[in-house]
Structure 1
C-alpha cells in the first residue's frame, strides 16, 4: 500500500516552531494520524522497538514525527531540581574575583567555590561562565551552553548575565563602572575577548546559576538597543567599524561585512549524474534566483546517459550559461568536486548538491561575505528538507559515535536551541551540500580527500583540516536553501561497503575529536536528535574542567 504524503495540517501540529503548542491530546492525535499515513515507517519503528533497538526506534520516530525541546523540560518535582532550587546562595564578594549578574539570577550552592578553584587551576583564564536553569515558566529549561564563541555572542547573548571575572582583568578593560548597564556581562566578555583573546574565556559545563532567562528578542527596547550598541562598539574596537549591523524581530544581530569593489567572482560547482528531475530545479534556481553579479556554474557530469539530461546540459552550455566538466568513472563526490575546482575561474568556490534549490536570493551574498574573511575557512548554510524541517544546522562531532547535523528534524523556521539556527556562529564542520570557501584556502589544504573519503565524510574532513590549519568554520543561519538530501543516491551493496570503509578511516583520523564537540554540550543525550534530551546520568553539578 502506498504511503500518503505528510500534509501541512498534520506536520505543523508537531513542529517546534509554534509559539503556542497544542496540548498533549492534540499532539497524540496528530502523531497517530501521521503514523497511520506511513505504515511502512511505522512498522519499522515497531519492529526495532520489539527487537530491543530502542535508539534506532527513537531515531526513526524522530525522522517521521519531527523533534522539539519537550524532552529537555524539567519540573520542580525532579529531586535534582528541588535540591538546586533550595540551595541558592548570595554572591559573596571575593578579593580577586567579581561575579557579574543582574537581579533575578542567583548562584547555586557551591558555585562560587568551584569558580575560585577553577581560576586557581587555570591561570590563563580571565573569565568563566557556566550553565543555568531557566525558571521563568511552569517548566524548567536547562540552558546548556557551548564553548566561548565571540561570533555567536555578537549575534545572540547565549551566555546570559552570570559571568565570573578576575578583578585584574576587569580593571584592565575599565572596571565595572565602564560596562553597559543593560548587559554588563555581555559587554565584559566581548571586551575581554578582544583584549586577552577568546581562549582566555572558559566555559564550565555545569549548572552554576538559576534565573529567568531573557529570550533573544525580549527584554524591552532599552535592552535590545543596549545589545546592539555593545556589539557596534566591539566592532569598532576590532577595527571593523564599517560593518553594518541589523537586529531582526527575533533579537538576533546580523553583521553585513563590506565587499571589495569589484565583487569577487564565484564558481558554483554542481555534481550530477542524470536525474534531470533534481538537476533542472537546482540549476534554474542558481541561474534565476541567486543574486550575485559575477558567477559561473560548473556542472560535474558523472557519465550522464539520459537523453533529456544530455540535451538540457548541452543547451545551457551552448548558451554559455554553464560549463560542463566531464567526470567519468564510478561516482566519486570528492574527486568530481576537486576536478571542477581545479578548472574554476572564481576566487570563491560554492559547492552545491544537485538536490539543493534556492529560495532566498541573498544566500550566496551572505555566505561570501563571511568566506572572504582571512580567518574563515568553510562556510555553511541552513538547509531545510522537503517536509519543511531542518536538514542541516551545522555538523556536530560525537553523537552516535560519529557526526550528525545540528537540529535535524526540527521545524525549518524554529529558532533552535539558544537561537542557534538563526545566528552566524562557529561550528566544527558544515555539509558540502552547500559549502562556500575561497579557492586559495581550499587548495591550501589539498581540497577534498578523494583517496580516503570518496563519498562520505569528505566535507567534515575538509572542515577539520581547515580548522587544524588555523581557519574557523562558520554556519550562517540567514542563508537558507532547500535540500532533498540523498535523493540522487542509491544504497547498493558496494555503496554500503564503501561507506563502512570511510567510517573506519574517519574514526582513525579524527577519533579524539569525536569525544566532545566544543560547540555542543556533554549533557545532551548522544543517541537521539541534538538538543532534545538530557543524557542519562549527567551530573548537573560536580567537578569538571573548563573548556
Structure 2
C-alpha cells in the first residue's frame, strides 16, 4: 500500500486530491497509511471501510467526499511506472465530452506485455481484449470507444457516476461492480473509452484474491441483469 500511495502522489496532475479508503485491513496496511500521511505533500483524506470488506461500498464512500469533477478509482494492485498516466486519461475525457469513463492499457509485471486494453464482447463471459499477450508497442495510438474496461484503474466523470448510484453494493465483496457500472453508463447514453497511450502495470487479484464462489455468484448476478438487454 505504501508503494502505490507514493506512486499516486507522483502522478502528473496539477489539482490532484487523494482520497484513500482502507477496506478494514488487518495486515499492517493501516500502519503503512499512517506513515504515508505523515509524509504526504498532496491534499488527502483517509477513510476506514466497514468489516464486510465490500469494495463497492468503499469506493462509493470515497467518491462521496471527492470534490473534483473527475474521479479516478485505483486499486492497490497496480504499479505506476509512468507518472503521466492520469494526465493522459484526463486529457481524454476533456477532449471527448460524450465520454463518461476512460481507462488505460494494463500491462503484465514485465511492463512490456499487454494484459488488457479495451474490452469488446456481447456479455462478460466473452469479453476479450485483442491485444492480450502482445507487446505494448503493438497498441494503437488513438483513443478508442469500447464496450467495457478492466476496473483496476478507471477515470470517471463524477456526475454520471453519482447519478447512477455509484457502484452497486450487491456485488460484494468484489468483482463485476466495475463492469456493471460501465454497462449502466452505456445505457445512460454515455461513452466508454480506452486510452491506450496511458498505461499501468496490473498485478491482478492481489487486493482480494480470487474466491471461485464469489466469482460465480457475482457473474450470475451480472448476467441476469445485463444479458437479456444486450
Q: Secondary structure at the match of 1:395?
A: coil
Distance 2:171 2:207 in 1: 22
Once residues 310 and 302 of structure 1 are traced to their aligned partners in structure 2, the CA distance between those partners, rounded to angstroms, is 10
Q: State how far apart, in whole Å, the 2-side matches of 1:384 and 1:407 are.
A: 10
Does the 8 A contact of 1:423 with 1:477 survive in 2? Answer: yes
**Could you tell me which of 287, 296, 304 is aligned with 2:17?**
296
Separation of aligned partners in 2, 1:512 and 1:452: 19
Aligned with 2:191 (options 469, 472, 480): 472
User: Is 1:312 matched up with 2:12?
Assistant: no
Q: Distance in 2 between matches of 1:329 and 1:280?
A: 22
Q: Residue in 2 aligned with 1:285? A: 7
Query: Matched residues in 1 for 2:18 and 2:132: separation?
Result: 29
Kindly provide the CA deviation profile for residues 431-478 of structure 1, in whole angstroms up to 9, marking residues without a partner as x. Answer: 221100111121111111111464111111111111111111011011
Of structures 1 and 2, the larger Rg is shown by: 1
Distance in 2 of aligned mates of 1:368 and 1:434: 13
Mapping for residues 80-479 of structure 1, pairs under 5 Å:
279-288=1-10, 290-307=11-28, 309-319=29-39, 321=42, 322-372=44-94, 373-387=96-110, 388-398=112-122, 401-415=125-139, 421-452=140-171, 454-479=173-198
CA distance in structure 2 between the aligned counterparts of 1:284 and 1:452, rounded to whole angstroms: 29
Match runs of 1:4-153 below 5 Å: none
CA deviation digits over 1:277-321, x for unaligned, max 9? xx2221111112x111111112211122234x3332113224554
Q: Distance in 2 between matches of 1:470 and 1:391?
A: 28
- 8 Å contact 1:317–1:323 — kept in the other structure? no
3-state DSSP of counterpart to 1:404: coil
CA distance in 2, matches of 1:304, 1:411: 35
Q: For the Cα contact (< 8 Å) 1:395–1:404, is it kept in 2?
A: yes
Structure 2 CA distance, aligned partners of 1:383 and 1:507?
24
- Give 3-state SS (helix, strand or coil) of 1:382's partner: strand
The residue matched to 1:377 in structure 2 has which SS?
strand
1:199-241 deviations in whole A, cap 9, x for unaligned? xxxxxxxxxxxxxxxxxxxxxxxxxxxxxxxxxxxxxxxxxxx
Match of 2:209 in 1: 490
1:360 Cα offset (Å): 1.9
- 1:397 and 1:298 map into 2 onto residues whose CA distance is 33
The 8 Å contact of residues 448 and 462 in structure 1, kept in 2 or not, is answered as yes
Tell me, what secondary structure is at the counterpart of 1:394?
coil
How many residue pairs were aligned?
A: 226
SS in 2 for 1:391: strand
Q: 1:458 to 1:402 in 2, by over 3 A?
A: farther
Match of 1:88 in 2: none
Q: Over aligned residues, Cα RMSD in angstroms? A: 2.1
Q: Relative contact order (alpha carbons < 8 A, sep ≥ 6): 1 or 2 greater?
A: 2
**3-state DSSP of counterpart to 1:465:** helix
Does the 8 Å contact 2:2/2:36 carry over to 1? Answer: no
Structure 2 regions of 5+ residues with no counterpart?
none
Q: Counterpart in 2 of 1:505?
A: 221
Q: How much has 1:383 moved relative to structure 2?
A: 1.0
Counterpart secondary structure, 1:374: coil
Q: Distance in 1 between matches of 2:125 and 2:159?
A: 32
Q: Cα distance, 1:378 vs. partner?
A: 1.0
Question: What TM-score do you get using the length of structure 2 for normalisation?
Answer: 0.89
Runs of 4+ in 1 over 4 A off after TM superposition: none
Query: Distance in 1 between the 2:17 and 2:129 partners?
Result: 29
